[in-house]
Chain A
Amino acid sequence: MSVQTRSTQDPLWARILLIGGMFAFLCLFLFVPLASVFVEAFRKGLAVYAAAITEENARSAIVLTLTLAVICVPLNAVFGLAAAWAIAKFSFKGKSLLLALIDLPFAVSPVVSGLVYVLLFGANGVFGAWLQAHDIQIIFAVPGMALATIFVTFPFVARELIPLMQAQGNDQEYAALSLGASGWQTFLRVTLPNIKWALFYGIILCNARAMGEFGAVSVVSGHIRGETNTLPLHVEVLYNEYNSAAAFACASILSLLGLLTLGLKTFIEWRAGLRHRNP
């Protein structure tokens, strides 16, 4: 942190004004909306709240959300590790292209992401006829949603690991190899411990996005209640039916997930001395 002396301090009135402005902005845009979720969720009382989140469709939505997370997060974690490993430890042509491609899902609208899978696997899609012939359902079913979720969340782990592994270099791995360790041993005992916090961090973010994704899964899901609705989609259904108490009740669960993510994120940043990073 830069040390400020009186010669570089802003005048008191400016400080008060700016801090006040920040408080006002954050309250208006962050805290009031967050608070409203919980207020609206409990507006009709605890009984209604409990009923809303244990109702059958809500439960299957929760299960589906968790299922998708369980499928997508580990896969993307492995991919992220592999990609970071390849990029950091080897030199090859097209590295910068690879890096840009990894960033792609961040720049693409989630709706477009979902759309490509519909175009691929939908009834009129490229593989549509083939899939129908083999009675395989991807779009409007869980596999399609999994694919869409993988797409939008795959950069998270990779982006956290790549700069870190690049900065760490190969020295320790070479040392381990020269001492007789196998490639796998080197990975487990040398590489992994060095990146564990970044890996954990990436997984947290990946998970938050996987569970909270809305646009992409909305396109591929078909909104079949009880079957292809994740919790965010279920919230939408409830809201559009003007069942706002139930909608906010389910939303409150997602909010808790968001807050938990934030907490873990902050904890890791503090613990690992990481600096602020880009979302």
Chain B
Amino acid sequence: MGFTLAYLGLIVLFPLLLVFVKASGLGWSGLLHAVSTPRVLAACRLTFGLSALACLLNCVFGLLIAWVLVRYRFPGRGFLDASVDLPFAMPTAVAGIALTGIYAPNGWIGSLLKPYGIKVAFAPPGILIALVFIGLPFVVRTLQPVLEDFEIAQEEAAASLGATRWQTFCRVVFPQLAPALVTGTTLAFARAVGEYGSVVFIAGNMPGKTEIVPLLIITKLEQYDYAGATALAALMLLISFALLLLINFLQRKTLVRPNT
């Protein structure tokens, strides 16, 4: 027991408190000033905006994938089911260079889009794709247990009462999936805002245009702007804490626990 607390205290609490101590060394006005420069604001808009969009996409496709994997039978289902965890098992840097390679103007897909003037790599769409990639498992894996446990008799009841399959999905199944869907999407969002490795290669990293917040923190560090880096990190930490609380709250509310 003591060992656990000591370990936790040493490795987690102390370092994190430190970030805030350092950040508050700036004073509140200094802090606000540091996080409201145009460059920082642009990075925040980019990171949070694209993360939100990415997890919305993951919401839709994650639901689709979970539904297909749980409800339908077809060859290769087990294989595809396992492959959903790929973004999670793969080192982020590998994902980063792979996606960049494909969507770069001379890449497999990038070259197909070039004639239409669509730029994916080194532009926001590229970042979006990377964020969708890494968030995918979260939504699918949160939904699957709920779908698997879903009381099929409710769907039969709806059918016996005259509902079509679409009505049954909209009125009976989806509302009961919604809590798990929200939880999974929030998890994907939390992951996306902090993501570095998968994004930094494909982003292009132009300040004000394609610079994500985690990269900005590193850049500031390299320029010895410790105060600025810390302020930004404190902001990210606050948001992480808030998301963590939200996720725990949601998980308890829906009784969606990762393990049985």
Contacts and interface: CB of A to CB of B under 8 A. Distances in A.
Touch test A–B (CB under 8 Å): yes
Interface of A: 1-5, 7-11, 14-15, 18-19, 21-23, 25-26, 29-34, 36-37, 40, 79, 82-83, 86, 90, 92, 98-112, 115-120, 124, 126, 147, 150-151, 154, 159-160, 163-164, 167, 198, 208, 211-215, 218-219, 232-233, 235-236, 239, 244, 247-248, 251, 254-255, 257-259, 261-262, 265-266, 274-279
Contact of A8 (B152, B226, B243): B152
B80 A22 contact: yes
Contacts of B69: 22
Contact of B237 (A83, A86, A108): A108
B95 interface: yes
A107 B221 contact: no
A215 B92 contact: yes
For the complex of A and B, list the 7 residue pairs with the smallest distance between their C-beta atoms, beginning with the closest: A109-B194, A212-B91, A215-B196, A214-B197, A116-B15, A111-B214, A258-B90
Interface of B is mostly: helix
A251 B248 CA distance: 35
A279 to B, nearest CB: 4
B157 to A, nearest CB: 10
A119 B15 CA distance: 8
Contacts of A239: 97, 201
Nearest to A150: B11
Contact of B259 (A151, A211, A251, A277): A277
A279 B91 contact: no
A248 B60 CA distance: 32
B253 interface: no
Contacts of A99: 248
Interface residues of B, number: 99
B240 A109 contact: yes
B129 interface: yes
A215 to B, nearest CB: 3
Contacts of A25: 61, 64-65
10 contacts: A2-B148, A21-B61, A30-B86, A34-B86, A36-B101, A100-B244, A107-B194, A112-B233, A214-B197, A259-B89
Nearest to A214: B197
